[in-house]
Structure formats: C-alpha cells, structure tokens
Amino acid sequence: MKFAAAAALMFSVSSPALAAGAQLGRDVTPIAYDITINPNAQAMTFTGSETITVNVRKATRTITLNAADLAISRATVDGKAAPFKLDGANQRLTLTLPAAAKIGVHTITFAWTGKINESAAGFFAIDYTNKDGSKARMLATQFEAPDARRFAPMWDEPSFKAKFTLRAVAPRGQLAFSNMPAVVTRRPDGTQLYSFRQTPVMSSYLLFLGMGDMERKTVMAGKTEIGVITRKGVSDQGDYALASAKRLLTYYNDYFGQPYPLPKLDMIAGPGTSQFFGAMENWGAIFYFEPELLFDKTRATESDKQRIFVVVAHEMAHQWFGDLVTMSWWDDLWLNEGFASWMENKSSADLNPDWFARESAVAFDREGALAIDATAATHPIIRHVETVDQIGEAFDSITYQKGQAVIGMIESTIGPDKFRVGIRRYMAKYKYGNTQTDQLWAELEAASGMPVSGFAHDFTLQGGVPMITVTDTVCKNGSTLVMLDQGRFGLDPESKTQRQWAVPLRIATIGGQPATLIDKNVKPYGVSVAGCGPVVANLGKGGYMRVRYAASPHAALVANYGKMALADRLGTMGDDYALARSGDQDFAVYAATLDAVQADANPLEWSQISAQLGSISGLYANTPLQDRVNAQTVRRLGPVLARIGYDAQPGESPLVTNLREDLVGRLGRAGDPEVLKRARGYFAKLKTDSSAIPPAIRAPILATFAANATPAEWDDLLALTKAETNPVVKNEYVRLLGSANDPALAMRALELVKGDALTAQQKPTILRAVAGRHPDMAFDFAVANVDLVNSLIEASSRAAFIPSLGAGSNDPAMPGKIQAFAEKQPETARGGAKRALAQIAVRKAVADRLRDGVTRWTGGAR
C-alpha cells in the first residue's frame, strides 16, 4: 500500500478490538473460497453467497472466522444448517455444530447482505461526474487492513492463504474486474455475470473486485498482459503508467529471480480520494486513485510524473514482496512496505538515472524516517500487534521510510550482488507462503557470509537513531586516524535515553579509499583511513544514523564542500540542520554549511534547502520572527528562481523542473510579491482557459493563489470547483479551498463539510487542508462535529484523524485538548494522539532552541 501523497503520519484503526494474542485458531483452515457478489450500486447494498472448502485439522464442534457489518441469512456445514453467532465487537462469526467435524476436508456455505460504503473501506463507491455532466458511480474494494471481512465471511488474517474463485453480477454495459481474467455471460435479465478464474493461494486482504462504466487499455510484457482501467475517455492518460509497468515487470522478473506468476496485471484508476492511502497492491489488480496513475500532460507537473513511476514501482514490487511472499502477521508489516519503498527507489535509480533517486532518498525519504524516530513517538520497526487499532498504526513512516533505509543499509554493507542473491533465495524458498523477518536475515546471511541479524536486530527491534561523532582527525604517514564516539540522537528527552547499536559504518577522506566497520563501541575509539584530508563518515549516506563533527573536522568539510559526492553533501546538510534542532550543534554550524552551497549547485541541494527554510518558517508561524525568516527565504531562493526562470526549457534536467516547482511554491508561501502577482494573473486566465497555467508550475501557482485569496477570489475558486467535471481537478480545487490564510475563509471552507456540495470523500480533504494553516480551528470543528467527521473517515484512520488535525498547533492549550479527546478512546486507539502530542512538544522545544540562532541569522539582535 502506498500512502496518499499529502497524507499525514496519523494512521490508526478505530474498529473494535481484535486481540491478536487470540488470533484465529488453526484447527480449521481455508483451502478455497467460491464467492458470488451481486451489488446494487444505487441502493449502496450487495448480496453475497459463498462456498468455503476447509481443512479440519483437529475434530471440533465450533468453527470461528471473521465477519463485520454483514447480515448473515444462511450458514451450512457439509450441507446441513449450522447455528451461528456474530460477535460484532471482535468481528468474528462462530458456527456451532451438532457433532464434532472430523479431521479432513469439509464444506461451509454462507449467504448474506452487506453495505457499500462511501469511504474507502471494504466494498465502497466512488461518485464522479462525466464530461457531459452526468453522474457516475464506480465500485471498488479496499481490504488492507483488515476489511475483507466486510465483503464476505473469511479467515481474514494474512497467514490463512487460500485460493479464491470470484463471480460478480454487473449491469449491462459495465466492466467488472478482479485479480484474474474473466469469462462474461449475459443473463436473461440483461445483466452480466463475470466469472473470474481461480487465483493462486493468497491472503484475503489481496482480493479485489471493481466495476463501473470503465474502459481498459493493454500492452504485453512477455507473456503477461498489463492493463490500465479508467473511467471512459481518459485511458490514454494511462500510457505513461503502462510503459513504466512494462519496464518494471522486466526489471523485477530479473531482480527477484521469480517470474510474475499471474496471466495479467491490471492497474485500476479510481476517480476519488482517501485520507489513508493512494494505491493498493491487490495481486493482479492494483488499485490507484487517479493522480497516482494517470498523467495528464496539460496539468501534471514533472514531480507528478515521477510520482506515478514511483507509486507503480512500489505497488509492483509488492506483487513479490507482500503478495507472493507475505508476512505471517502484522508485526512484520515492514517486510511488505519497507521493502517496496526501498525497491521503488532502487528501480527508479536504475531505470531513470537522471532523476538521482538514490540521492533524493538521502535528502527526503531518510529525513522523514529520522524525524519521527528521534521523538518519544518512535517504536521498533518490528512491534507486537494485538488489535485492529494497532494494525492501522503500523502503517507509518517507521515502517515505510525507516524500513527502506535499513534495507538500503544492509545492501550497502553486504554488497548489492550478494544482497540480490539473498533476496532470490528468499523468494524461491518462501513463494506462496508466509514469513517472519528472521527468515529474511537467514537467507541474506547464507548469501553473504556476514552476520546480518547481528546488526539488523539493533535497527528493527528497538526504536531510535544512533549518532556517530567524529571527535578528531589526525594525519600521519599518509593516513588519517579518525576518533569516533557513539551516542543517540534525539529531539526530546525520552528519545535521548542512551541505547547501543552495532552500526555499519563506511568512512573515508574525500576521494580516498573507504574503511568499513561495524561500530559496537560505547567508548571513544580510533579508526585509520587511507590518505590525508577532510573525513566523511557514513560515506554515501547508506547507513541509518546521524553524524556529528567536532569544530575542526566540520570546518574542513565546509571548506571542501563542493568536493564531496552529492549524497554526502545532502546528508551533511540534513545532519547539520537536525543537529541544530536537537541542540547537539549550534545553529551557526548549519548556517555555515548553508553558505557553502553555490548558486549553481545541484538542484536537489536547493530543493533540500527550500524544504529546510520552510521548516524554520513553520516553527515561528504568526510571529515577527516568521516574517524575518520569510524575508531571508526570498533573499536566498529568489535569485535561484531568477536563474532557472518560470518557464520550462526544452531538454532541461528533471531536477531543474522539480526545483522550479519547489521554489515557486516556497516563495509563494514566503510572500514573494512577484510570485503572488503571477498567481493572480494566471488564475484570471484559468476561468476561461483550463490549460492557462504551464503544467510545470501549475500546482505551486494555484497553491499561492489559494493561500492569499481574498473573499472575492475565494468565491471565484468555489465557483470553479462546482463547475469542474474532471474529478482529479475538482479534488485539487477542493483542497485549495481549505488552504486560505484568511481565518474567515477557512471557516467558510469548514462549513462545506456540513453541506452537500462536496462528496463524502472530498470532505476530509478540505478539513485536512484547513488544518494545514489553521490547526486549532480544524480540530475544534472536528470535535464539535465528531459524529459527522467520523462518518467521513475510513475505519483505518478514524481514531487518529482528529488528533492529527491539531498536531500543527502552537497554542499551549492544544495538548490538553488532544489528551482530553484521546482519553475518550480505547487505550489501543491512542497512538495517533501520542504522535500528535510528541510533534507539538518537539516543535516547541526546537523553536525555543533555535530562536536565538535564527534571530541572529535573519539580522535581528538578541
């Protein structure tokens, strides 16, 4: 699963508790499901029936499986009616037999009715408008995690793999689609029966069904048919994704050493939105919301195009890591998501070298993981999961981005060739099965001959960030003695509690031969490296750590900044900013590194600086110091934008195109009058020409306009939103309506949540957008309208959604409000509130630490 691009790290599940310590028993296990579904899209209901072939391993009078929000009308075992009981709190269905079922194969049948939901959980609907203004409704499923039980009674846990045969009734003229190809027959009443071929054995959360007024376009990649399924009239926007998927399938077949096993691979574009996810890796039927899959060259930016490739790469990697081999239980979710995140980056770097994907991951992905891992809200990558709430909480940046970074560190340590051999061994050995993390470590150790688990456990079984300090360097006889010390990096007191890691570390002088070691030391020690000159620790930034330099080694690096490799420049800049935030280093040290960046530096460096300046500005929102930071931002970044210009040039680097987008957005948020003037001019043209804004700057220009909108301009944007029929553009405008700086306009945006001008899926989008600039207002609104808000949010993110709205607040009263809200929730559903409180506390502490340094840096006196 891939998070939505703008989703906050806020996810948890609000469903009732399901004690994982009491996971479903294994006396009865499913072999195969045969399911028939007949939806009534207009009534938002469906009927279902199924036959489950099961293996009874131990004689039993009771059979328990999962079911939620289903009205069961019939249950039989081996053809005889069986009394049943539904436990709604624990989402379980128990059959009681008159006599014990004997060991062997048995048959269970059910019939039921269920609900089609408005939000993306279980079987759900996506409402949209066609180009001619007519209304349309697409149906789709979303089962991770765990919502297959809202579709049919199932053993809805990842270790209960089985084969699925699915049949679905669709209205005349509509297209239905699932994991496997189908045979279609016309029924006497004019409807169509889609009979899909049986799947390989797989987990229940990977089953998929969709239908609607859709069209399908295909290409062949060897023996595999790759398809893109869209609403009618836009399938050509899937051409880029199809071409990318074809390249990726060849790449992955080779990398994993196991050919993709299904006859087709469909990519389905849903014209809606979710607060929880952007795409889902259903085996052979990957679901995406449209912006993650379709490339509209008249509106999309270069970064949009790159994200499509990255998301397709992520979901396709899951077809092996997650679908072919699946974690045994949600404790090891990172085996799915961390690896897919790493693979999206690796494939992007290998197939699109001009994107500098590995270096970009150092500047941005790595920082995302290190940020939350250095707070009280951290947790181990592998953590025990006992409830549905905790399953949802596992989908966070620790699982995704730290998991990605740790996998990259292991590959860097044992070498890419041996790493791939280990992955191929793992895939061959465990295909169609379930695993735990140590089984992966065992295959990597067998391939490399190195004790992978010896250091990997330190990064997966405990939270936190190691910090390596270069305390001194001494050159003698053509080599340099580097003095090192290990500690812990943290942004708050809890995250500074000392821990020890076995840290894989590469260290070298600039341009010299690196030394590689596993740092287990708790006391200072020395390492000798070849050559004399400035020393770079964590060379290439392949390791998961912060690196701090004493004054002299740091000054030597700054003096030779341009001689470092790009990844090392980006990593040093990231570390210096973080060390200032934590109080481990003076802000002036970061400022000195910033000054070392040349005007013609790699665009990634300026994109990183843009993000850091935005972070500093946010620390002092609505204060005079923010005005000074914004003025400094304009002084620093304005000349860079002037150099590359507002207009994309033929043949320019994708990094330049992305930098232009970053700079226009950042300068717009900083109040640059030239950017605002252009934004208002472009919007005036947009009312008569939908393609008036150049695609390369469309998103930041609209964001600048919306943030600075007057009441009259906001009304114009609202009118444009109501008139728009393109669902992707309409959803973009909805988000912009909630982005106004003016509090009165933000309140008007919130009032739209109560009305009927927006769909149920759009309303959380506007609420989230308001929280970006007015967190107190958004939180208070949500608490005052809690039943309405909860009805709009997927179960998988409901418990954490409202606390996350207040996470950006600087009001001293907000922590108390969030705590009071959390105390009304079950203990297992408070993870989102804990993260929000940690974010608020860290932001306040960081703002206090940096205030004097930032004041001096911006020309003020303290």
315 assigned to active site: yes
Amino acid in position 505: L
Closest of 402, 399, 333, 412 to residue 371, by C-alpha: 402
CA–CA separation, 112 and 104 (whole Å): 26
Residue among 539, 571, 516, 543 at smallest CA distance from 409: 543
d(CA 831, CA 801): 11
Whether cis (ω within 30° of 0) applies to the bond prior to 699 is no
Task: Report residue 349 CA to chain centroid gap.
Answer: 19
What is the β-pairing status of strands 285-289 and 264-270? parallel
Q: Where are the beta strands (DSSP E) in 247-384?
A: 264-270, 279-280, 285-289, 325-327
Which of 157, 315, 359, 661 is flagged as catalytic? 315
User: Cα-Cα-Cα-Cα dihedral of 433, 437, 441, 443, to 10°?
Assistant: 0
CA–CA separation, 303 vs 314, rounded Å?
16
Residue 39: asked if its preceding bond is cis (omega within 30°), the reply is no
Q: Which two tokens stand for residue 543?
A: 């390791």
Q: Which token pair is 55?
A: 């293996």
Helices (H) and strands (E) in the chain, counts: 28, 29
Structure tokens at 201: 């054995």
CB atoms within 10 A of CB 742: 17
Cα–Cα distance for residue pair 676/276, rounded to 1 Å: 32
Residue 35 and residue 53: Cα distance in Å, rounded?
11
Q: Angle, nearest 10°, between helix axes 654-669 and 603-619? A: 20
Pairing of strands 465-476, 433-435: unpaired
Contact 507, 536 (CB under 8 A): yes
- Catalytically active residues, by annotation: 315
